[in-house]
A and B are shown apart, each in its own frame.
Chain A
Amino acid sequence: MRLTDFGMDTITLAGPLEAKLRAMQAAGFTQVMLSARDVVGHPEGEATAIARVRASGLRVTGFQVLRDFEGLSGHLHDYKVDIAKSMLQLGHALGAPLLLVCSSTSTHATGELEAVVADLRKLAMLAVPLGMRVAYEALSWGRHAHQLAQAWAVVERAKHANLGLCVDSFHALANEGAVDTLDMIDPAKVFLVQLSDFLWQQIRSREERIETARHLRVFPGEGVHNDLVAELVRRLERRGYAGDYSFEVFNDDYAQMPLASVCERAMRSVHWIAGRVARRSLPVLREVRAGPR
């Protein structure tokens, strides 16, 4: 695990795109997970936003987020395919190697496995000529897929080289038991890991889960699930995951803080993770330390 394996999501920071990119770089990050809003909402237009990202020297981790895509039919499906194509084109222009798609929350979406698989295969196919991969994430309030295991069942069934999983620690922790699920997952099919924690032990309702996810996440090491977050990363590492980690920390307080302070917290979190994972995954070292006592 190296520092260059970690990046930040732009959604974690307030302010304009350029300030976010500068702050991340100043803190020592070398990659960035971009949101469509960074690009289409840029006051000087998309082309300028794309040029700024490309000139920043930061590697683009991926592009987010396509919502409510799978399980629709008829005109709703056609509409979403159009949206997906637009996002793929933007991601491609940014040099993003990956599009993140969250499991659908739509009441119009079927949960029928074959339909969901066909839609995600189609999305993965659309991404091929653009040089992008598609990572499917189980949103913890997804209508049909809300557990990591369910998202994995879809990806495994789809069996498409261009379709994999995004493991998001928030959604995994918000639905208990997800860490063990990692043992059933082919690490080569994990295309991205998004990291965050939150500040209370339990989330009691769907509404609370959404509220927490959108406003009250914190960096790993700042929350109350330290052991679980560290265990999640440790399992991924032990099973051979070699991809990127990105901090996706939606937090209203961080959105009111200077960017440099938030990026410092992110970098502190990298060191916290590295320390926890290295210490626990080196049992020999632990035994030696325990010896003289």
Chain B
Amino acid sequence: MPVSEGHPTPTNRLGLDGLEFIEFTTSQLLVLGALLEKMGFRPVARHRSREVLLYRQGRMNLVVNAHPGAVRVDATGQPVTALGAMALRVADAGDAHRRTIELGAWDLPTRAAAMELIIPGIRGAGDSHIYFVDRHGDFSIYDVDFTPIAGADPNPPALADLHYFGVVQTAYPERTAAWLEFYQSLFGFSVLPSGRFFGVVNTGVLLESPCRKFFLQLIEPPAADGDVVWEEGLLRIGLGTPDVPAAMRALQARGIVFVDRGSIRPTDRGAVTQLYPGGVSFELVHSHLSTSPA
């Protein structure tokens, strides 16, 4: 891939190679599942020992974790649906884990049962986790921990070439610099020049993964809005598509509603879905990222 002038080549010491899966945690398995199916994801496999489903669409893997111990609760103790984790493909998961711990990441307690894979991970923003996965391709982590759902197409095609584009993370006021350090030092992300954005939500700071396959967007609470309850965590996922209007049409036909008011209006650059139960939303982003297999 050509490197633009003045944009230093990022170091990729962990051998990052894209997002292996995104995990939602929820106690509302059916509600979230129905929404994901509207978004074009299909359930393809079930975890052997826990209440966990694997959804897939094109090259995107999405794990819905409804295991009681994994579900997050809000300040009042009520269960909430949340983006629970992002799993990064790396060259060597054990090595990536050791290296990030050595630099000051928090280890996660392992939770594999007998005959299951241990997926090493570290603590991310809020209650979220960052996992390291080095088994992808012919033999995947899903082959060990999941059983295929009978009759389901194991590789359902993507609507409008949808693919993972990035993840939006919230940060407390004036905490963006600390998070930049986190993603730069631990993983080798690089900050995009100020003012360079994708999609229609042009706030905060954008980081590009060292593999150049996905982005992170860090946003702080809007100024002068004291009523917003703002927690750090993963807010929403961005789905890339080469044709935003076509993707919108396909999703609208399936019942998905897009926000069209104020500063957030659908354009060729992107669109944001309404907030669905549990505070879940998705963002469409016009994407230059390739969807063809690497």
- Does B232 contact A125, Cβ atoms closer than 8 Å? no
- Does B181 contact A126, Cβ atoms closer than 8 Å? no
The listed residue with most B CB atoms (<10 A of its CB), out of A121, A122, A123, A128, is A128
- Does B104 contact A133, Cβ atoms closer than 8 Å? no
Q: Is A225 an interface residue (CB 8 A)?
A: no
- Does B125 contact A129, Cβ atoms closer than 8 Å? yes
Which residue of the partner chain, among A121, A125, A129, A161, contacts B177 with CB atoms under 8 Å?
A161
Q: Is B186 an interface residue (CB 8 A)?
A: yes
Min Cβ gap B84→A in Å is 14
Which residue of the partner chain, among B102, B104, B123, B175, contacts A124 with CB atoms under 8 Å?
B104
Which residue of the partner chain, among A123, A129, A131, A133, contacts B106 with CB atoms under 8 Å?
A129
Q: Is B178 an interface residue (CB 8 A)?
A: yes
Question: Interface size of A by Cβ–Cβ distance < 8 Å?
Answer: 15
> Once the chains are docked, how many angstroms separate the CA of A193 from the CA of B94?
41
Q: Classify the interface of chain A: helix, strand, loop or mixed.
A: helix
- Does B175 contact A129, Cβ atoms closer than 8 Å? no
Contacts of B180 in A (CB 8 A): 161
> Once the chains are docked, how many angstroms separate the CA of A128 from the CA of B103?
12
Which residue of the partner chain, among A85, A123, A125, A133, contacts B182 with CB atoms under 8 Å?
A125
Contacts of A215 in B (CB 8 A): none
Interface range on chain B: under 10, 10 to 19, 20 to 34, or 35 or more? Answer: 20 to 34
Closest to A84 in B: B104
> Once the chains are docked, how many angstroms separate the CA of A21 from the CA of B279?
38
Q: Is A160 an interface residue (CB 8 A)?
A: yes
The listed residue with most A CB atoms (<10 A of its CB), out of B106, B125, B175, B178, is B178
- Does A125 contact B105, Cβ atoms closer than 8 Å? yes
- Does B106 contact A126, Cβ atoms closer than 8 Å? yes
Which residue of the partner chain, among B103, B124, B175, contacts A125 with CB atoms under 8 Å?
B103
Q: Is B185 an interface residue (CB 8 A)?
A: yes
Q: Is A162 an interface residue (CB 8 A)?
A: yes
Min Cβ gap B65→A in Å is 20
Give the top 10 A-B pairs by smallest Cβ distance, nearest first. A125-B104, A161-B177, A122-B104, A162-B178, A126-B104, A161-B181, A128-B182, A128-B178, A161-B178, A129-B123
**26 A-B residue pairs with CB within 8 Å:** A85-B106, A121-B185, A122-B103, A124-B104, A125-B181, A125-B182, A125-B185, A125-B186, A126-B104, A126-B105, A127-B178, A128-B104, A128-B178, A128-B182, A129-B106, A129-B125, A129-B126, A129-B182, A129-B232, A131-B172, A133-B178, A161-B177, A161-B180, A161-B181, A162-B177, A162-B178
* Chain A residues engaging chain B, CB cutoff 8 angstroms: 85, 121-129, 131, 133, 160-162
Other than A125-B104, A126-B106, A128-B178, give 12 A-B pairs with Cβ distance below 8 A.
Answer: A121-B103, A124-B104, A124-B181, A125-B186, A128-B179, A128-B181, A129-B123, A129-B125, A129-B126, A129-B232, A161-B177, A162-B181
